[in-house]
Every structure is written in structure tokens, then in C-alpha cells.
Amino acid sequence: MDIYVGNLAYATTDEELRELFGRHGAVDAARVVKDRVTGRSKGFGFVEMPNAEEANAAIAAINGSVVGGRPLRVNESRPREDRPPRNRPPRPGTAW
């Protein structure tokens, strides 16, 4: 099951996220999403847990808990919605 974790402290690492969820079961992957340009955390991430029962227990236990001074928002992730293409001019130095 893929799990969305929101309102992460910007200093949270992939390993810390893995450890947090690992207390509740097996974790296949844990990733804090980072800005492509700056490399800074965007304040959210995703965790993959192979066992749905363990994943649901982790969601129930961690959602709303305070980590790094911030209350986490945790739920099953939803597929990314298709977005219409943006109609904006290209950045200087790039080609269409």
C-alpha cells in the first residue's frame, strides 16, 4: 500500500520516515519529496508498505502525531490526477 505523509518537517530524511513507519511493519520504500532545483524538502513524502493490515495500523497510529514539531497528515495515497498542459512561454534558454 502506498501511503501519503504530509506536513513533514523540512529536515526529515528518507531514513527517518522509514524508521517511523518501520515500527508498525515492513517498509519497502520511504521517500521525502524534494524540489528538483533546490533539493529542499517539499514537506511531504510517500511510504510503501507491502502488508495492507500493517499499513492501516501505521496510518491510524501516526496520523495526527507530532514529529519534528509538526502534526503529520497520513493517509492512503491517491493516484496523481491528470492535469491539463500549462500554456505558458518557455523559460529563457530552453527550446519547445
Evaluate if residue 95 carries a pLDDT over 70. Answer: no
Residue 70's CB is within 10 A of a number of other CB atoms, namely: 15
**Domain range summary for the chain, segments of one domain joined by +:** 2-75
Evaluate if residue 92 carries a pLDDT over 80. Answer: no
pLDDT band of residue 77 (cuts 50, 70, 90) is very high
Which segment of 29-43, 62-76, 78-92 scores lowest on mean pLDDT?
Answer: 78-92
Q: Name the average pLDDT for the chain.
A: 92
pLDDT given at position 94? 65
Do residues 46 and 33 touch, judged by C-beta distance below 8 A? yes
List, for residues 45-62, the tens digit of each pLDDT value: 999 999 999 999 999 999
pLDDT band of residue 29 (cuts 50, 70, 90) is very high
Type of residue numbered 23: R
Superfamily (CATH H level) for 2-75: RRM (RNA recognition motif) domain (3.30.70.330)
Q: Nearest-CA neighbor of 43 among 80, 82, 9, 4?
A: 9
